[in-house]
Copies of this chain bind each other. A is one copy, B any other.
């Protein structure tokens, strides 16, 4: 009796739901139950290559690894799209409080940081609670000093703090430079409490002269705040010796690795998915972004093994994302004129479970979106109301009017590890990785086999 009642209540919603494509559902369930390929790829890339900083020999080894593995897996048209890029590499990194409380702090250089002399530079530290406070400070208060900027970023599920709090990294160095600072150190843009600094790219804006620019770990940033408070209460200045000796080493090769699952209908267009192959140099780039490489490749591989899909699925493992999205721009400029890409989607937010799907599909694709949402719901994935943007490497396509789908991952832990030495394989949960593969397999299968055309929603003016 109880069962019957439950069924009666359940029927109306089932009746309203889109029919789920059987093949996509079966592929989804198989991935969730037993995918091992994504883990094998993440482990392989992070173990056999490790860090793979853009434009370095390590990134070249990663391309070789990827070409070999994608070929072994049976993908078609495996090749590299090479390009050159300017390369910045890390040097020595030390920060020491000279007075009044001598001690070392843990620091790392931000991308494109200027260099100190080999023996470091010593100056008084001036602290700011956030970037706005630095911007508002008189130049005279900053000139010749080491600027310290802190912030109050907290972990959240959608990672939306990274935009506003990340401004201290993206904009702090240029602002400090324009005000005449000797150097800048920021509180790492992150949410953990470990002594692993978060690096990340920044660019010298508005003609700002490069100065040494580093990130303290979060425990060290809070230590410096306490040092400034206690020294200030005693009327004593805080002096720091900062040593950062990165170098610009000229132009070197990078590249995107491309592979395809050929479709049966050349006129139905191409779906482009992927992640980025490069990583920052401090960890092994497991979360950022061996995971995205592995999830998208494993999902496409499942579809390929089940029989050719209608549409070609193109996997692109982008080079040089971390230093400014160079690989994504390269791929877009090479292929935008071909007019055959109908859908883009990137995985670049770690390896924790997908919790939300967002679409940028035309109204005429409502049924496709409903089918995909219905396929994802059993994985605990909700439907969001945001417009999909396809991430750093494929966002140019979405901005230019190509349809996009975003499988949003749980970012609660993401900024604990992002761009740190702690981005290593042990941070990946195999069960959540499988859920990602299941979500991607379902979405890709439904999209690749969709009988209707795929188009983006018209852009708001």
Taking a contact as CB atoms under 8 Å apart, the answer to whether A47 and B426 are in contact is: no
**A40 shortest CB reach to chain B, Å:** 11
A194 neighbours in B (Cβ, 8 Å)? 194, 196, 422
A49 in the interface (beta carbon within 8 A)? yes
Taking a contact as CB atoms under 8 Å apart, the answer to whether A219 and B106 are in contact is: no
Taking a contact as CB atoms under 8 Å apart, the answer to whether A101 and B47 are in contact is: yes
Q: Closest chain B residue to A225 by CB distance?
A: B47
Which of A102, A103, A223 has the most chain B CB atoms inside 10 A of its CB? Answer: A103
**A114 shortest CB reach to chain B, Å:** 24
Known: A47-B226, A195-B283, A196-B196. A219 touches B422 (CB 8 A): yes
- Option from B230, B422, B425 in Cβ contact (under 8 Å) with A223: B425
Which of A50, A101, A195, A422 has the most chain B CB atoms inside 10 A of its CB? Answer: A195
**A334 shortest CB reach to chain B, Å:** 31
Taking a contact as CB atoms under 8 Å apart, the answer to whether A51 and B103 are in contact is: yes
In angstroms, Cα B425 to Cα A51, docked, is: 31
A129 in the interface (beta carbon within 8 A)? no
In angstroms, Cα B230 to Cα A244, docked, is: 35
Taking a contact as CB atoms under 8 Å apart, the answer to whether B101 and A49 are in contact is: yes
> What are the interface flags for A223-265 relative to B under an 8 Å C-beta threshold, 1 for contact and 0 otherwise?
1001100100000000000000000000000000000000000
A139 in the interface (beta carbon within 8 A)? no
A427 in the interface (beta carbon within 8 A)? yes
In angstroms, Cα B217 to Cα A283, docked, is: 12
In angstroms, Cα B307 to Cα A339, docked, is: 87
Q: How many copies does the complex hold?
A: 2
In angstroms, Cα B426 to Cα A222, docked, is: 9
Taking a contact as CB atoms under 8 Å apart, the answer to whether B101 and A223 are in contact is: no
A175 in the interface (beta carbon within 8 A)? no
Taking a contact as CB atoms under 8 Å apart, the answer to whether B101 and A195 are in contact is: no
Q: Closest chain B residue to A46 by CB distance?
A: B223
A102 neighbours in B (Cβ, 8 Å)? 50, 58, 61
In angstroms, Cα B102 to Cα A177, docked, is: 37
**A333 shortest CB reach to chain B, Å:** 32
> What are the interface flags for A51-67 relative to B under an 8 Å C-beta threshold, 1 for contact and 0 otherwise?
10000001001000000
Taking a contact as CB atoms under 8 Å apart, the answer to whether B230 and A47 are in contact is: yes
Known: A49-B101, A223-B425. A195 touches B196 (CB 8 A): yes
**A177 shortest CB reach to chain B, Å:** 30
In A401-432, which residues have CB < 8 Å from any B CB?
A: 420-422, 424-427
New A-B pairs, 6, CB < 8 Å, besides A47-B227, A50-B101, A193-B426: A47-B226, A50-B223, A103-B284, A195-B196, A195-B283, A223-B284
Measured CB to CB, the residues of A under 8 A from B are 43-44, 46-51, 58, 61, 101-104, 106, 193-196, 218-219, 222-223, 226-227, 230, 283-284, 420-422, 424-427
